[in-house]
Amino acid sequence: MTLVKNGAVVENEWVTVDDDTIVPIDQPAIVSANRWRNEKERLRQRNVPIGLRLSSDAVVDDIADALDTIELIALEFPAFTDGRSYSTARLLRERFGFEGEIRAVGQILRDQAQFMLRCGFDAFELAPGANVDEWIDGLSEIAIHYQPAADTRTSTAVLRHR
Amino acid sequence: MTQQAVTANLLGDGRVAFLTWDGDWSDNVADSHIATSDEESEWLLETAQRAVAAQVAVDPYLIEIDASSGSAWPVQRREQIRAAGPTGTINTLSDASVDGLKRVA
Amino acid sequence: MYRYDAYDSQLVGERVAQFRDQVQRRLDGALSEDEFRPLRLLNGLYLQLHAYMLRVAIPYGTLSSEQMRMLAHIARRYDKGYGHFTTRQNIQFNWTKLEEAPDILTDLAKVEMHAIQTSGNTIRNTTADPFAGVAADEIEDPRITCEIIRQWSTLHPEFSFLPRKFKIAVTGAYEDRAAVRVHDIGLAMQRNEAGEVGFEVMVGGGQGRTPMIAKTIRDFLPKDQLLSYLEAILRVYNLAGRRDNKYKARIKILVHELGTEVFRDQVEAEWEQLRDAGPNLDSAEVERIAAFFDPPSYEPAETSGYNAKLFEDHAFSDWARTNVARHKQSGYAIVSVSLKPEGEAPGDATAEQMDAMAEFAERYSLGEIRVTHEQNLVLPYVRQSDLYALWQGLRTQGLSTANIGLISDIIACPGLDYCGLATTRSIPVAQRISRLFANLDRQHDIGELRLKISGCINACGHHHVGHIGILGVDRKGEEYYQITLGGRADENAAIGKIIGPAFSSDNVVDAIETLVNIYLEQRYDGERFVDTYERIGQSPFKEALYDAR
């Protein structure tokens, strides 16, 4: 699996753990929201970072109490066309002020990467065989943005009146 | 069973095409390779799928064919219109399809 | 009209380059059809029955003569010499090639046009009153709002993969010529008691399989709060709209299943969070955009020649009666140009007709043209003293049919002749009806009658809101046509009711004539078809259609 973060390929330090597998004590681990709810107290006592993996129908309010503990949220794309996680990412960044990593996982295309970036994603788990260089190019294909979003890019409405 | 042929649209220009006896594509339904058994239909579809993999054709499928008049003609109205062009605007028809148009039910 | 600045041009240029690359990757095999389909649909490119169809955006239906000439060029160079104006004020070309699609977009960009978001599950072209800026009953030109929405919604990072497509319509006038109540969001401009301008916000209208009239969720939204409110609606919909069944994925189903009150509460709660931090424009940007829509400098009225010609020339006065509407500036007129000549496909125009319209616009209408959702064209700034010369010019191009609002001014979807989704044909039915009622005196006698035809249940031909609606249904390979009566797309929007069993293709045109005859027998003075229908109900029509059989 190739991980692109902040526009470059990086080593993935995280392990994604199934609900019925033991959570390692010495490696950052990503668990489901369900497991978080059930094992919250125990997971908080680990000395290594914990992350959450959210399905595309997850409601941010349901995991709001986890946000000061966790360092990564992986948002799932079960299909290219399931756009719910774009809104979820914006809510995490803009409404809840989450500053950890937001990682896009599942069915994602490089042609969608810039939309994700603007909604607050900063890491992308590429499908096997994906062309990494093209992916990184895809993050900056469009330089003009008509509307503000969760990123720091300035919208045209502001640029025009500077 | 009824007789069948394979149709698709060509990737590059989108035109309607029919899989021919020599494994190529034609815009004329009369050139279609007509399958007369399930096995042959299956084989035709597999041939068409190779054309999909080779970036030649898009979304191939089987259509029912009536060849009783001597040349192949689709049974379904939708496929007749695909073979002959729109029925309402005569000036848009290709020359080859004018004869076919007269046969659209 | 709005003109691009360097930012607008750069964005469209970058989008064309991006699409060119996507097309190349598809042709090379780097993208499969399943991967490419959502990408080409974000740029208006469909694979239809016969070929690729490219839908070009005409923002809120406003075109310059230069843009119209480019559409003519595209029809000639890349297509078969014609194009089809749609119910969403766009144009589509039916015979394009994937290989040439990037070149078409490059040509379009030269005249500040594109195909961005003319398909796909995105916010589509925002439509408007075709008489915007010139209607006598208008509060403010709705195109200012539409352009603000166009920019906000273009490549919106959060709302490019919605549960389903999303259509917004805006009217600034009391009389609704934009069918705002059958859109996902309808905005009707209002003035509050303090005299401030804002919008009545209606949500969840639409046609398709489950036709619904939009529900008002806010009586008055201040104009400067529009974008944050739209963002709140879209966010609620993006997160909660159904994705398990594409036929239940439109916002109308969400509004219906939640109930209007609950939906409104969710939107208002989201808006509370967004209204200060959201995408609302500051006044400098609003003023910049609004300035593009300032009224032109009108010349003094001169009407005597016009009035004389109305007396002298019967054919001209017939045309003026239906195709010329009152302008807010005295001495001027709004001219509707019918794309429904007898026996032709509704909404089609040849490259020659497009060039001619560009010419007429330059000579008579300050270079501006509009497209209506009823698939006609409008010249919005014609001096009354030029009307006769314009009409004579239109006559040489087959563009002078005097039938706006009459029974042969039919909305029809492309139907099975072109569309990959259709189950029956609609164009040939429209053609037969227009031939049956070819006698113009008879049409004028019948008066306003909105007839709309869809070739399948997706209702792109707006049959649900036709005074007479016709829906094609396939019965074991035979084309049948179901008739609905009493639909309306105006400010009193209503969904038509099915009158009874469907008619065969052979009988449907006679059935329409029977309905018209009942109306003619029963009408009071001054009543339109739909008025008589609303007064006497379905029974007399139903009896005439079915009892004799």
- Give a yes or no: residue B35 inside a domain: yes
β partners of residue A136: none
Give the Cα separation of C417 and C342 in Å (integer).
Answer: 18
A72-77 and A50-54: which strand pairing?
parallel
B70 touches chain C (CB under 8 A): no
**Confidence band for C486, pLDDT divided at 50, 70 and 90:** very high
C22 touches chain A (CB under 8 A): yes
Instruction: Note down the domain range covering B51.
Output: 3-76
What was the pLDDT predicted at B93? Answer: 37
Q: Name the residue in chain C with its Cα closest to that of B16.
A: C50
Q: Name the residue in chain B with its Cα closest to that of C97.
A: B13
pLDDT tens by residue, C29-55: 999 999 899 899 999 999 999 999 999
The alpha carbon dihedral of A80, A82, A85, A86 has a sign of positive
What was the pLDDT predicted at C305? Answer: 86
The residues, ordered by sequence, that sit 6+ positions from A17 with a Cβ below 8 Å of its Cβ are: A23, A24, A29, A30, A31, A35
**Confidence band for B98, pLDDT divided at 50, 70 and 90:** very low
Q: Is C383 helix (H, G, I), strand (E, B) or coil?
A: strand
> Which chains pack against B, by 3+ Cβ pairs within 8 A?
C
Q: Average pLDDT for residues A124-145, to the nearest whole number?
A: 92
Domains by residue range for chain C, with CATH: 6-110 (3.90.480.20), 134-291 (3.30.413.10), 309-395 (3.90.480.20), 411-546 (3.30.413.10)
> Quick check: C398 pLDDT over 50?
yes
- Give a yes or no: residue B72 inside a domain: yes
Q: Do C282 and A161 touch (CB under 8 A)?
A: yes
Q: Which of residues 96-155 of A touch C (CB under 8 A)?
A: 109, 111-112, 114-119, 131, 141-149, 155
Q: Which amino acid, residue C530? A: V
- The partner residue sitting opposite B12, judged by closest CB among C99, C344, C425, is C99
- The partner residue sitting opposite A111, judged by closest CB among C5, C17, C39, is C39
Chains A and C touch (3+ CB pairs under 8 A): yes
Question: DSSP assignment, residue A93?
Answer: I
- Please tell me which residue, A162 or C532, carries the higher pLDDT value: C532
B81, B93, B101, B104, best to mutate vs chain C, most C CBs in 10 Å: B81
Q: Are C160 and A81 in contact (CB under 8 A)?
A: no
Q: Average pLDDT for residues C238-254, to the nearest whole number?
A: 97
> Quick check: C278 pLDDT over 90?
no
Give the Cα separation of C162 and C230 in Å (integer).
Answer: 14
The residues, ordered by sequence, that sit 6+ positions from C150 with a Cβ below 8 Å of its Cβ are: C59, C60, C125, C126
Q: Are B14 and C96 in contact (CB under 8 A)?
A: yes
> Quick check: B104 pLDDT over 70?
no
- Give a yes or no: residue B87 inside a domain: no
Chain C interface, Cβ < 8 Å to B: 26-29, 33, 47, 49-52, 80, 82, 95-99, 344-345, 348, 416-418, 423, 425, 427-428, 431, 477, 479
CA C79 to chain B, closest CA, distance in angstroms equals: 10
Tokens of A50: 């914990």
β partners of residue A53: A32, A74
pLDDT tens by residue, C121-133: 999 999 999 999 9
Q: Average pLDDT for residues C88-106, to the nearest whole number?
A: 98
What was the pLDDT predicted at C547? Answer: 85
CA geometry: angle at C221 spanning C217 and C225, to 5°? 125
**Confidence band for B94, pLDDT divided at 50, 70 and 90:** very low
CA C223 to chain B, closest CA, distance in angstroms equals: 45
Reported ipTM: the value is 0.97
Torsion of CA C268, A148, A84, A58, to 10 degrees: -70
Q: Which residues of A27-43 are buried (b: 16+ CB within 10 A; e: fewer)?
A: ebbbbbbebbeeeeeeb
**pTM score:** 0.95
Within 8 A of A144 by CB-CB distance, chain C residues are: 7-8, 10-11, 14
C301 touches chain A (CB under 8 A): no
Q: Which amino acid, residue C344? A: E
**Confidence band for B99, pLDDT divided at 50, 70 and 90:** very low
**Confidence band for C549, pLDDT divided at 50, 70 and 90:** low
B81 touches chain C (CB under 8 A): yes
Q: Which CATH class name applies to A2-159?
A: alpha beta
CA distances from A101 to A14, A137, B90, C440 (A): 11, 21, 60, 69
Q: Do B87 and C417 touch (CB under 8 A)?
A: yes
Q: Do B55 and C28 touch (CB under 8 A)?
A: yes
Within 8 A of C428 by CB-CB distance, chain B residues are: 87-88
What was the pLDDT predicted at C143? Answer: 98
Q: Do C11 and A118 touch (CB under 8 A)?
A: no
What was the pLDDT predicted at A46? Answer: 87
What was the pLDDT predicted at B1? Answer: 53
User: How would you class C360 by CB atoms within 10 Å of its CB: exposed for 0-12, middle for 13-18, buried for 19 or more?
Assistant: buried
Q: Are C84 and C345 in contact (CB under 8 A)?
A: yes
Segments in C324-386 forming alpha helices (H)? 351-364
C284 touches chain A (CB under 8 A): yes
pLDDT tens by residue, C331-355: 999 999 999 999 999 999 999 999 9
> Which chains pack against A, by 3+ Cβ pairs within 8 A?
C
Tokens of A129: 């065989």
Q: Are B65 and B75 in contact (CB under 8 A)?
A: yes
Helix (H) / strand (E) containing B73? strand B73-74
What was the pLDDT predicted at B58? Answer: 97
Give the Cα separation of A102 and A98 in Å (integer).
Answer: 9
Q: Do C11 and A84 touch (CB under 8 A)?
A: no
C131 touches chain A (CB under 8 A): no
- The partner residue sitting opposite C97, judged by closest CB among B13, B78, B85, is B13
Q: Are A115 and A83 in contact (CB under 8 A)?
A: no
Residues found in chain A = 162
Q: Which of residues 154-173 of C touch A (CB under 8 A)?
A: 154-163
Domains identified in chain B, total number: 1
CA C11 to chain A, closest CA, distance in angstroms equals: 5
CA C432 to chain B, closest CA, distance in angstroms equals: 10
Q: Which of A130-144, C138-152, C251-265 has the lowest mean pLDDT?
A: A130-144
- Give a yes or no: residue B41 inside a domain: yes
CA C345 to chain B, closest CA, distance in angstroms equals: 7
pLDDT tens by residue, B62-86: 999 999 888 899 999 999 999 999 9
CA B37 to chain C, closest CA, distance in angstroms equals: 24
- Give a yes or no: residue B8 inside a domain: yes
For chain B, percent of residues with pLDDT exceeding 70: 82
Q: Average pLDDT for residues A24-39, to the nearest whole number?
A: 94
Within 8 A of A86 by CB-CB distance, chain C residues are: 157-161, 238
